[in-house]
Amino acid sequence: MEVGAVAGMRYVKNGIKAARLVMLYTQHTMLVGDQASAFAISMGLPGPSNLSSTESMEKWIKWKENQCQPNFRKNVVPENSCGPYYRKKDVNVGEKTCLVEDVAEHIRMKSSYVDFHNHDTISMAIFDKSGHIAVGTSTNGASFKIPGRVGDGPIAGSSAYGDDEVGACGATGDGDIMMRFLPCYQVVESMRLGMEPRVAAKDAISRIAKKYPNFVGAIFAVDKNGTHAGACYGWTFQYSVRSPSMDDVEVITVYP
């Protein structure tokens, strides 16, 4: 139950090390934004650094030339430009106020940003010789996200969760959707109740897909004995495994 996280952090390259520093040297769970960067640098990590690359700048320039499309805005005008953005006119229904939106289409479009070519989440679970479990997740976040956006990467129980008594879980995919379900917490608790990793992972993914049938995501689950499995929805997912008895890493392919 020791947790450290950072979010919205710039100017420091190694986010997972910064998160570990929060866990080891503060009584907090999460630090965010430039203050998280300042903390990480004060604790010895290199920075401030310019983390932009030639590739990322070219990608951003092309996106701007394409009127900042696609993006994660909804219920705003203008729809096809770089802003500034304004709220669409509210629609009054009786005493309630709502916004007209095709929810299914919105989720379909947003999830289409997540695929093998634009996703960089790394989620890991480590078991030491004493049976203690550590988990961690690191990501750049969604491409073309709105500044200030925080996905499921630093959210304990969403992108990763572990319990020495049970096992561990890691997740990747459409974090804005997945974090609403804390799928890795769900997986670990399901295994605590006796579910096999394969069943627990499939159950957690199914819970999300039932509410959001167009989302994209994947989970790996491993119990305290080392039995592991994965489940995915909307893409073909791969995870890797290595134990002291293995000569090399084994890559497992999981199909939707």
Indicate which residues carry an active-site annotation. Answer: 121
Angle at 142 between CA 17 and CA 114, to 5 degrees: 120
For residue 116 the two structure tokens come to 């093998």
Please work out, in degrees rounded to the nearest 5, the angle formed at the alpha carbon of residue 157 by the alpha carbons of 156 and 163.
100
> Is the CB of residue 13 less than 8 Å from the CB of residue 47?
yes
Is the bond preceding residue 48 a cis peptide, omega within 30 degrees? yes
**Residue 244: CB atoms within 10 Å:** 5
The C-alpha angle 141, 146, 56, rounded to 5 degrees, equals: 55
- Give Cβ neighbours of residue 243 (< 8 Å, ≥ 6 apart): 226
- Partnered with residue 230 across adjacent β-strands are 220
Q: How far apart are CA 125 and CA 110, in angstroms?
A: 28
